Structures are given as structure tokens and as C-alpha cells.
Amino acid sequence: MKKTKYLMPLLLSCLLAPLAVLAQVTPDSTAGRLTLEQCVEFALKNQAQVQQAQLDEEIGERQIKAQLSGWLPQVTAQFAAVRNIQRPRFVIGNEVITTGQNYTSNLNLQANQTLYSNDLLLASRAARFTRSSLDLNTKATKINTVVDVSKAFYNILLSQEQLRILEENIARQEKQYRDARAQYEQGLVDKTDYQRASITLNSIRSDRKRTQEAIKASTALLQELMGLPVGAPLTLAYDYNQMQQNILVDTTQNVTFANRVEFQQIQVQRQIQGLNTSFYRFGFLPTASIYGNYNPQFFSSELSSLYNNIYPTSQVGLQVGIPIFQGGRRLQNVRISRLQEDRLSIDLQNLQRRINTEYQSALASYKSDYNDWITLQSNVQLAEEVYNVIKLQYNEGIKTYLELIVAETDLRTAQLNYYNALYNVLSSKLEVQRALGTIPVNQ
């Protein structure tokens, strides 16, 4: 890989010239030619999944505040007005006595202040872990977005390069068709040469049409991944020299599991589960609060004079709730929570093995694709040389037209395979970075 490092600028400058000067655009605009970095930046702000993950963070923050609001004083008010159609009666001796008034009303104002609650204590301790979990979920979504947008971007570049190669082949084949037709009309060759040229030309045109449609589909996919409005224009700008500078990756790196967002997510889950265990273990502790209320009451036999007189009552007090016996539910919940902690520990160990497998697979694919890319570059040079020689020999009448067609097909195949290999190595690099946990998501 060190030997090939110095060949890269020469190889790409010969075969992959830059197509356009990069235009300067704002991150939230597509009114220009967008580079890969600008496409990724736009997607990280506008893709639906990223926006939903960010909204989930905001929702989670509101839920945390709602749970922690239990530590603040809780003030309630209740109002009632009653018309007693049949008032209560009771008997004293032989006399039946009717009690109460025809109309009653009362207003109850009560304030509660929690002093200690196991539920609220759990919510307070779990708040930062909940925020961390939501943040990691957003980070994971952004990582997937970067990878998906990058691959879609590269796929369009691949299709555009394929289209360019086919256009060159069509131009070359049209000339050969005209030459073969002219030679036939002059009686120098039979008609099979220009017929073969016609067949090859039609086949390449068909491939061009298929590639043009593939570009439309790939562009639509990239627009979706970026979160562009339907019908919004999208034109890409890219510099193969810059892509060449970013194509290499250090294949000697070791996996650091803590860099993977999935590893961090399970660690946060274990911390939250540990808090749940503590919550159940200390479930025997009492719930304590203080309260105070003010309750003005009104009585009257007539509705018009109901609120003429007030009879208030008020009180303050301390409430303590102690769970004495719950049928063993608390102990079972503690055991369940500890078992769930053990399960998460196993998940973490299994994730480490899976991450290692992902990295080794991604690294093997990258090395193979990189080697294919270098090898196929050499094949392009050889195929071009062979085609040029056979073309000269055909013009001199040494080679047959069939041999020329075969040489041209080999050249076209070598060129297309080369760009396929370029796309594969760029995609493989992304998978290596994802396996290492080094995908940048700073936006």
C-alpha cells in the first residue's frame, strides 16, 4: 500500500480528471453544485430520521422535567356546590330529625410538598442517563445518514462515469460503423462488418439508456436521504483528486469497542438497569410529604344567601407511607432487575465479538477492493494499448473487424470494471470506519 501511495496522483490525473469547479453554496441550499461534504451536512439537518431523533431528544427532555416536577410543591383547588334534594335524617328517641341545609358549597385549597420518594429519587438519578441514551440514538442515526448519503453520492458518480465511457464508446463505434459502411459500399469488405458495428452500436446505446435511467433513480434516492423536497434540483460537484486523497485508511488499527455507539448504548442501559435494581432494593423506604389545606364551607336554606356566611377549616400535617408487606413482590423485582443486568452484560460481550467480526469483514473487503482497484487500473491501460494496436492493424487489413469489436468490448469492460472497483473501495472504506466507530458526525 505504501508503494502504491505515490502512484495515486499519477493514475487519477490520467484517468479521472476533475469535472467541475466546486461552487460555494450555503448548507441549507441546493441552488448549485453540491460536494459530498455539503450533501452530508444538508442531510444531517434536513433528513426526516435525523429530525425525528432530535425531536425524540426534546420529547425526552420534557419527560424528564415532567418527572422531576414531583419535587416541587403541588397545589390543587377543588370547588363544589350542592343542592340537597333529600337531606339526611336520623332518629333520637321517637323524634325524626332532619340535618343539613338545602344548599351547600365548599372550596378546598391544598398544597403538598414531597420530602422523600423512591420514585422521584430514581427519576432524578436516571435523568442524565436518559439524556445520554437519547443523544446516542441521535448519534447512531447520524452515522447511518453519513454512510447512506456517501454511498448514494458515490453510486451517482459511478453511474455518471459509466455514462461518460458509454458516450465515448458510442462516438467511437459510430465512426467505425460509418467507416465499415463506406468500405462495404466501395466493395472492400462484405456487409457483415458494418452489420456487426450496427449491432454493437445498438447494444451500447441500450446500455447508455439504462445508465441514464439508473442515474435518475440514484439521484432520487440521494434526494430522499438528504431530505430534499420533491422536485428540488440536485447537481453534484466532485473532485477525484480529493477523493484519491481520502481513499486510503490505516489498516493496522485495532478496534476500540468504546468508540462504537452501540457499545455506549448498552453501557447506558446497564447503568439505568442498575438504578432500577437500587430502586427495588430500597422499595421498603417510606414516602414522606407535608401538606396544608384551607377549606371554606358555605351553608344556607336559600340559594340567594348561600355565600353570605363562611365557615372555614384549615390544617397542616405530615404524611408518611410505609410499605409493610407486599407479598414478596419487592424481592422478586430485585431479582428480576439483577437478572436483566446479567443479560445486558452478556449482550455487551456478544456485541464485542460482533464488532470484531464486522471490522475483520470490512477490513478484508477493503483490502480486496483496494487491490482490485489497483489491478483494474493496470487492466485499463493494457486494454487501451491492445485496442489501439488492433485498430491500426484493422485499418491496415491485418486484423478482422470481429477482433476489433472484441478489443473494444474488452476496453469498455475494463473501464467499467475499474469504476466499479473505485466505488467498491470507497464503500468498503466507509464500512471500515463504521466498524471502528470513526464516522464523523460533528454537524
Name 301's Cβ contacts closer than 8 Å, sequence gap at least 6: 101, 102, 103
**Nearest-angstrom CA–CA distance, 142 and 434:** 12
Q: Is 157 exposed, middle or buried (0-12, 13-18, 19+ CB in 10 A)?
A: buried
pLDDT at 177: 76
pLDDT at 188: 65
- What is the DSSP code (8-state) at residue 363? H
pLDDT at 22: 31
Each residue's pLDDT tens digit in the chain (443 positions)? Answer: 344 443 333 333 433 333 332 333 334 455 568 888 899 999 999 999 999 999 999 999 999 999 999 999 999 999 999 999 988 888 887 888 888 888 999 999 999 999 999 999 999 999 999 999 999 999 999 999 999 999 999 999 889 988 988 998 888 888 877 877 777 777 666 677 778 878 888 888 998 999 999 999 999 999 999 998 888 888 888 777 777 677 888 888 888 999 999 999 999 999 999 999 999 998 888 999 999 999 999 998 888 888 888 999 999 999 999 988 888 888 999 999 999 999 999 999 999 999 999 999 999 999 999 999 889 888 988 998 898 888 888 777 788 778 888 888 888 888 888 888 888 999 999 999 999 999 988 65
Distances in Å between the Cα of 255 and the Cα atoms of 94, 352, 370 are 95, 9, 20
β pairing state of 235-236 and 33-34: parallel
**Nearest-angstrom CA–CA distance, 148 and 155:** 10
pLDDT at 189: 66
Distances in Å between the Cα of 107 and the Cα atoms of 211, 272, 308, 311 are 78, 43, 15, 11
Contact criterion met (CB below 8 Å) for 142 and 264: no
**Nearest-angstrom CA–CA distance, 232 and 215:** 16
Cα 173 to chain centroid, rounded: 45
**Nearest-angstrom CA–CA distance, 250 and 433:** 10
Cα 97 to chain centroid, rounded: 76
**Nearest-angstrom CA–CA distance, 282 and 278:** 6
pLDDT at 186: 73
Distances in Å between the Cα of 354 and the Cα atoms of 40, 435, 437 are 27, 10, 13
- Of residues 197, 337, 213, the one with CA closest to residue 269: 337
- Quote the cell numbers at residue 43: 442531510
β pairing state of 311-321 and 89-92: unpaired
**Nearest-angstrom CA–CA distance, 43 and 35:** 12
**Nearest-angstrom CA–CA distance, 275 and 292:** 33
First CA to last CA distance, the chain = 32
**Nearest-angstrom CA–CA distance, 214 and 162:** 11
- Of residues 291, 309, 290, the one with CA closest to residue 299: 309
pLDDT at 174: 83
- Quote the cell numbers at residue 65: 422535567
